[in-house]
Amino acid sequence: MALRIANLSKTYPNGVRALQDLSLNIGNNMFGLLGPNGAGKSTLMRTIATLQEPDSGEIWLDDLNVLKNKDAVRQILGYLPQEFGVYPKISALDLLHHLAVMKGIHSPSQRKETVEALLQQTNLWDVRKKALSSYSGGMKQRFGIAQALLANPKLIIVDEPTAGLDPTERNRFLNLLSSIGQDTVVILSTHIVDDVKELCPRMAIIGNGKLLLEGTPSESLEVLRGRIWTKIVTSQAELSEIEKTFDLVSTQLTAGRHQVRVYSEQPLDQGFTPADIGLEDVYFTSIKHQQKAA
C-alpha cells in the first residue's frame, strides 16, 4: 500500500492558507508527520480521512482515487482524531460492538472475536465493562486505537495522539501503535519530535501548509552535520547579542543557565563547540528557516 498526495491546497473562508501545494508519498509502515501547531496537520489528516474537501490536488491510495471514492476509502480507513468527542456512559465492550456493526461486521461470532481480540490488544480487557466516561486519557486513546482497528484498516490516521498523556501511558500507547501490521499505511501526526524519533522509519516536517523536509530521521540529521553549534550563555545580555548576531535554532534552560544552539555552515569560535545533532535541531531549523523565508 502507498498513499500519494499531489499538489494539495486548501484555503479556509477566513483566508488562512492551511495547505499550499503540498505533495508527499507515504509507504507502508509508520510515517511521522511533524509540524508546529497551526502547520496544517489536522487539515491534511481530515482531508485524507475524507472528512473535508481540498480546493485542489489529488490523493491516491494505490490506484484508488481517495477524493472521488470516499465510501470505498472509509471501508479501509481507521481514524483516531485529535478529539474523539464525547465519551458516553456505556462500556468499551458495548460501544465497540456497536461500532463493529456500523463497520459492517454483521456475524455475531466474528464480531465477538474481533471485539475481544482488540480489547486484549489494547490492554483494556480488565476494564472492558467500565463506562468510557470514567477512563483516563491514556485509556481513552487506547480505546480510540481499538475502534480505529475494527475491520482491518489498510490506512490508519492518528492525529496528535500523545498530547496530554503521562510518560507511562505515552509509552504504552506508542508500543501499541508500533505493533500494528506491516501491510498498512500508518500516519502519525504530532508536534512531539520524540514520538517520531522513536517510532517512524520515514518522516516529513510541514510548516504553514508547506512541505519543509521529507526522508528518514537519519537522512534528516545528515543534512545538519557540522552545522549546529552550542554554547552555555551566562547572562541575558549575551543571549540577546547571540539572538541578534547568529542564526539561533533553540535555547534550552538547564540548571538555570541557557544553552543555545545556533546554525552555521562555517566553524564558529567565541566559545561555541560542535553539537550532537538531534531530530529537534532538524525540526527547529526547518521551521525557523521557513519563517525567515516567508
Q: Where do contacts with ligand ADP occur on this chain (CB under 6 A)?
A: 12, 14, 16, 18, 35, 37-43
Q: Which is nearer to ligand ADP, 8 or 66 (CB)?
A: 8
Please name which of 74, 141, 83 lies closest in space to residue 103, comparing C-alpha atoms: 74
Q: Which is nearer to ligand ADP, 175 or 291 (CB)?
A: 291
Q: Are 60 and 25 in contact (CB under 8 A)?
A: no
Could you tell me the smallest distance in angstroms from the CB atom of residue 168 to ligand ADP? 26
Q: Are 186 and 161 in contact (CB under 8 A)?
A: no
Could you tell me the smallest distance in angstroms from the CB atom of residue 147 to ligand ADP? 21
Q: Are 35 and 45 in contact (CB under 8 A)?
A: no
The single residue listed with the C-alpha cell 490506484 is 63
**What cell was used for 24?**
508527499
Q: Which is nearer to ligand ADP, 194 or 238 (CB)?
A: 194
Could you tell me the smallest distance in angstroms from the CB atom of residue 122 to ligand ADP? 24
Q: Which is nearer to ligand ADP, 160 or 169 (CB)?
A: 160
Could you tell me the smallest distance in angstroms from the CB atom of residue 117 to ligand ADP? 32
Q: Which is nearer to ligand ADP, 12 or 257 (CB)?
A: 12
Euclidean distance between CA atoms 284 and 275, whole angstroms: 14
Could you tell me the smallest distance in angstroms from the CB atom of residue 42 to ligand ADP? 3
> Which sign does the torsion angle of CA 161, 162, 165, 167 carry?
positive
Q: Are 38 and 16 in contact (CB under 8 A)?
A: no
**What cell was used for 83?**
478529539
